[in-house]
Amino acid sequence: MPKEVETPKDEEWSVDAIGLAAGEVWQILKQKGPMNLRALERGVPGPRPRVLMAIGWLAREGKLSLEHRGHELEFRLTEG
Protein backbone atom coordinates (compact mmCIF):
# COMPACT_ATOMS: atom_id res chain seq x y z
CA MET A 1 0.00 0.00 0.00
CA PRO A 2 1.48 3.43 -0.95
CA LYS A 3 2.47 5.79 1.80
CA GLU A 4 0.11 8.75 2.14
CA VAL A 5 1.58 12.18 1.67
CA GLU A 6 0.80 14.45 4.57
CA THR A 7 -0.80 17.71 3.53
CA PRO A 8 0.88 20.70 5.17
CA LYS A 9 -1.15 22.61 7.69
CA ASP A 10 -2.30 26.05 6.55
CA GLU A 11 -0.44 27.76 9.39
CA GLU A 12 2.85 26.31 8.06
CA TRP A 13 2.36 28.41 4.91
CA SER A 14 0.95 31.59 6.44
CA VAL A 15 2.61 34.95 5.91
CA ASP A 16 3.52 34.88 9.60
CA ALA A 17 5.27 31.50 9.26
CA ILE A 18 7.21 32.69 6.22
CA GLY A 19 8.11 35.93 8.01
CA LEU A 20 9.39 33.97 11.01
CA ALA A 21 11.49 31.80 8.70
CA ALA A 22 12.86 34.97 7.08
CA GLY A 23 13.89 36.14 10.55
CA GLU A 24 15.63 32.83 11.18
CA VAL A 25 17.50 33.05 7.85
CA TRP A 26 18.56 36.61 8.72
CA GLN A 27 19.78 35.54 12.19
CA ILE A 28 21.81 32.65 10.80
CA LEU A 29 23.46 34.85 8.19
CA LYS A 30 24.17 37.52 10.80
CA GLN A 31 25.77 34.99 13.16
CA LYS A 32 27.62 32.80 10.68
CA GLY A 33 28.18 35.00 7.66
CA PRO A 34 27.63 34.09 4.00
CA MET A 35 26.20 30.62 3.35
CA ASN A 36 25.04 28.48 0.48
CA LEU A 37 21.47 27.26 0.14
CA ARG A 38 22.17 23.79 1.52
CA ALA A 39 23.64 25.23 4.72
CA LEU A 40 20.70 27.62 5.13
CA GLU A 41 18.23 24.78 4.67
CA ARG A 42 19.97 22.80 7.42
CA GLY A 43 19.85 25.79 9.77
CA VAL A 44 16.20 26.77 9.35
CA PRO A 45 13.55 24.33 10.55
CA GLY A 46 10.63 23.56 8.31
CA PRO A 47 10.02 22.52 4.74
CA ARG A 48 12.37 23.58 1.95
CA PRO A 49 9.76 25.65 0.08
CA ARG A 50 9.24 27.81 3.16
CA VAL A 51 13.00 28.43 3.44
CA LEU A 52 13.02 29.45 -0.23
CA MET A 53 10.08 31.79 0.35
CA ALA A 54 11.93 33.30 3.32
CA ILE A 55 14.98 33.92 1.16
CA GLY A 56 12.76 35.56 -1.44
CA TRP A 57 11.18 37.73 1.26
CA LEU A 58 14.59 39.00 2.38
CA ALA A 59 15.80 39.50 -1.18
CA ARG A 60 12.67 41.51 -2.04
CA GLU A 61 13.29 43.73 0.99
CA GLY A 62 16.88 44.25 -0.15
CA LYS A 63 18.27 42.59 2.97
CA LEU A 64 20.30 39.93 1.26
CA SER A 65 22.31 39.50 -1.87
CA LEU A 66 23.62 36.50 -3.68
CA GLU A 67 26.82 35.73 -5.46
CA HIS A 68 27.83 32.81 -7.67
CA ARG A 69 30.54 30.66 -6.10
CA GLY A 70 31.35 28.01 -8.65
CA HIS A 71 28.14 26.05 -9.19
CA GLU A 72 26.46 27.33 -6.03
CA LEU A 73 24.88 30.54 -4.86
CA GLU A 74 26.13 32.18 -1.70
CA PHE A 75 23.71 34.31 0.30
CA ARG A 76 24.87 37.24 2.43
CA LEU A 77 23.25 40.10 4.32
CA THR A 78 23.41 43.53 2.75
CA GLU A 79 23.07 45.27 6.11
CA GLY A 80 24.34 44.58 9.60
Evaluate if residue 41 carries a pLDDT over 80: yes
pLDDT at 17: 92
Mean pLDDT rounded to a whole number for the chain: 87
Handedness of CA 67, 64, 21, 27 (dihedral sign): positive
Q: What domains are there in the chain, each with its CATH number?
A: 14-77 (1.10.10.10)
Predicted pLDDT of residue 69: 86
CA atoms within a 13 Å half-sphere pointing along the CA-CB vector of 21: 25
Instruction: Give residue 51's identity as a one-letter amino acid code.
Output: V
DSSP annotation of 16 reads H
- pLDDT (0 to 100) of residue 5: 47
Could you tell me the CA-to-CA distances from 40 to 2, 4, 36, 43, 77 in Å, in that order?
31, 28, 6, 5, 13
Question: For position 75, what pLDDT does the model report?
Answer: 96
